Amino acid sequence: MPDTDLTLARTGGRKLARIVYDEGQIAARVGEMGRQIAAEIPEGEPLLVLGLLKGSFIFVSDLVRQIVRPLQVDFLVASSYGSGTTTSGTVNLLYDPNADFRDRHVIVVEDIVDSGTTLNRLMPMLKERGPRTLEICTLLHKHIATNLDWEPRWVGFDAPHEFLIGYGLDHSEDFRNLPFIGSL
């Protein structure tokens, strides 16, 4: 698919290899996921949607508007990289949510699951807080983690093994605002 003037304007003139998922595909799938979550979590029971920042913020915003039931939203920021470019294996909570987890259905919303390091370290920490259930919802799953301890319950798309940007995903903090997911 050739880059349009609008796409080039949004990427600062940088050409993409391709658009992997367009706005319509994303909107349709997020709507389906919202309906699945609403149907699978018992009605009338407390639901907390916990977005993992920064990458999930657009997905969380669209997803919670598709879950037709009462819920609360909070966010957390976790890092396993520190100042380096490879994971340290240790997860630090840079922002810890204030929400009470006890006896609630908690859904951790992630933009993309790739190595699984952050989720493998984060989920046991969250489980200690006593949620009724603790599940993962991810927009993209690369299926490359060799030792993923916590499989996502809801997956938007099986992602190609490419470097993806847009719809919250970044490259050096750029491109999060793209309304589609593209490949560099």
The predicted-structure confidence for 41-70, as pLDDT tens digits, reads as follows: 999 999 999 999 999 999 999 999 999 999
Is residue 184 one of the residues assigned to a domain?
no
What pLDDT shows up at residue 90?
A: 65
Is residue 94 one of the residues assigned to a domain?
yes
Rounded to two decimals, the pTM is: 0.88
Structural domain range at position 62: 5-79+90-169
Name the domain count of the chain. 1
Is residue 177 one of the residues assigned to a domain?
no
Is residue 175 one of the residues assigned to a domain?
no
Is residue 37 one of the residues assigned to a domain?
yes
What CATH number does residue 43 fall under? 3.40.50.2020
Is residue 181 one of the residues assigned to a domain?
no
What pLDDT shows up at residue 97?
A: 77
By annotation, the residues acting in catalysis are 114
Is residue 152 one of the residues assigned to a domain?
yes
User: What HEC string does 127-174 produce?
Assistant: HCCCCCEEEEEEEEECCCCCCCCCCCCEEEEECCCCCEEECCECECCE
> Which residue in this structure is represented by tokens 């149907």?
39
Query: Per-residue pLDDT tens for 83-123?
Result: 443 444 566 677 677 789 999 999 999 999 988 888 998 99
Is residue 98 one of the residues assigned to a domain?
yes
Q: Is the pLDDT of residue 2 over 50?
A: no
